[in-house]
Amino acid sequence: MKRKFFRAASLALTIAAVLVYNIGGAYASEPLKLSAKSAVLIEASSGRVLYQKNAFEKLPMASTTKIMTAIVAIENCRLDDTVIVGRNASGVGGSSIWLSEGERLPLSDMLYGLMLASGNDAAVAIAEHVAGSVDKFTEMMNEKARQIGAYDTCFSNPNGLPAANHYTTAYDLALISAYAMKNDVFRQIVGTQYKTIPWQGHEWDRVLKNKNKILWQYEGGNGIKTGFTDDAGRCLSAAAIRDNMQLVSVVLCAPDMFRDCMSLMDYGFAEFKNRILVKSGEYMGEVAVRHGTKDGFGVYSEKDMLYPLTEEEYGKISRRVYVESVVKAPVNKGQEVGFVDVWLGDKRICSAPLSAPEEIGDNSYGYNVLKILYGILN
């Protein structure tokens, strides 16, 4: 098989793994009793949907919008940047950290005000700092949503206040949340219960308390954001990690949002485990090298391949390994020489490329003649 084929096949399989909701999940035999109009539970590393209720319905999302605001700011600015509060930010209504025009705060403190206290003013100040205007910042938010794969999402502002063409789906918001939770800075911020930040012009500092009760009330709770407007109702993206499995649950228009998310995650942790389907360093096959300084090399997996499965599903797992039988020198370290597929019954659920573990030089007759001539001429 040709290396070009492996590259194309690997890309196709990666796309198939990302679009895992098409594979289908092992949902509860009876629907969970949720107050939410729309809900989803996913495992963050694989993106697998473990449970869903109207997960692809477009709905307003209130302050869970700020998940995207935060990750766009973190990826595009330095945390020690000084954010200067403008008139637009100081005048924003709704939840606030009481910013004053001209006040200066490090971006890191603004982000805590954004995510713990849900400051609408902080959202606008951050947007104007990052992009120069709210409009340009929302363009960045929408572009990031497309990059993540949240195609049924549209942002019109950075704070989630009611606006035309401002919506998402539970599934899209879960994708955005899972993406953000992979960032160390973001994860630290949303996992913080209390934070003290300066308050310019006052004798005391601002003391911020995280509005997300998951951090206090749920074992392993480590994020991420609440939201509420009359238009959107109560919204929550919640996260918890246990036994090396990071779950993200999202509920939109949910009168009992915390109970809903806890019920979703209870189900996920009870029914699924993150199984090791391929172990790091596991032998996958042998590749011969033609005209090389070595005759061949062994192929080994580079990292653990994990996937959330029920006990019943785990018994239906199979693997298929594809490795080129021979390659021509020279061989570059990391050169793709095959891939491993993992199947659940007749459905491929994930795939990973296999690569050469070392560099192997060319030892062909023609190469050695050229090397001798080069040495004589130089």
Reduce the DSSP state of residue 132 to 3 states and report it: coil
Report the range of poorest mean pLDDT among 55-59, 168-172, 327-331: 327-331
Query: For the domain that residue 339 is a member of, what is the CATH number?
Result: 2.60.410.10
Does 75 share its domain with 129? Answer: yes
Domains: count for the chain: 2
d(CA 83, CA 335): 45
Residue 178 lies in a domain: yes
Residue 288 lies in a domain: yes
Q: Is the peptide bond before 308 cis (omega within 30 degrees of 0)?
A: no
As a whole-number percent, the residues of the chain with pLDDT over 70 amount to 88
For residue range 208-241, what is the model confidence (pLDDT) as tens digits?
A: 999 999 999 999 999 999 999 999 999 999 999 9
Strand order in the sheet with 296-300: 296-300, 283-290, 326-328
Best CA proximity match to 336, nearest among 5, 7, 15? 7
The domain of 49 spans 29-271
Does 52 share its domain with 116? Answer: yes
What pLDDT does 3 receive? 40
Last residue of a domain, one of 223, 246, 271: 271
pLDDT > 80? residue 10: no
How many residues does the structure list for the chain? 378
For residue range 247-294, what is the model confidence (pLDDT) as tens digits?
A: 999 999 999 999 999 999 999 999 999 999 999 999 999 999 999 999
Q: How many angstroms separate the first and last alpha carbons of the chain?
A: 39
Does 296 share its domain with 261? Answer: no
Q: Catalytic residue numbers? A: 63, 66, 118
Does 228 share its domain with 344? Answer: no
The band of 365, judged by pLDDT with boundaries at 50, 70 and 90, is low
Reduce the DSSP state of residue 131 to 3 states and report it: helix
d(CA 12, CA 203): 59
What pLDDT does 203 receive? 92
**Torsion angles phi and psi, residue 157, rounded to 5:** -160, 170
What pLDDT does 245 receive? 98
Q: Amino acid identity of 267?
A: Y
Q: Which region, left, alpha or beta, applies to residue 62 given φ > 0 means left and ψ of -120 to 50 means alpha?
A: left
Last residue of a domain, one of 271, 294, 319: 271
Residue 376 lies in a domain: no
Does 172 share its domain with 240? Answer: yes
Best CA proximity match to 123, nearest among 200, 249, 38, 225? 225
Does 287 share its domain with 158? Answer: no
The band of 363, judged by pLDDT with boundaries at 50, 70 and 90, is confident
CB 178 within 8 A of CB 48: no
For residue range 164-195, what is the model confidence (pLDDT) as tens digits?
A: 999 999 999 999 999 999 999 999 999 999 99
Computed over every residue of the chain, the mean pLDDT equals: 90
Give the 3-state secondary structure of 34-62: CCCCEEEEEECCCCCEEEEECCCCCECCH
Does 243 share its domain with 328? Answer: no
Does 9 share its domain with 138? Answer: no
d(CA 130, CA 77): 7
Tokens read off for 293: 């300084």
Last residue of a domain, one of 239, 271, 303: 271
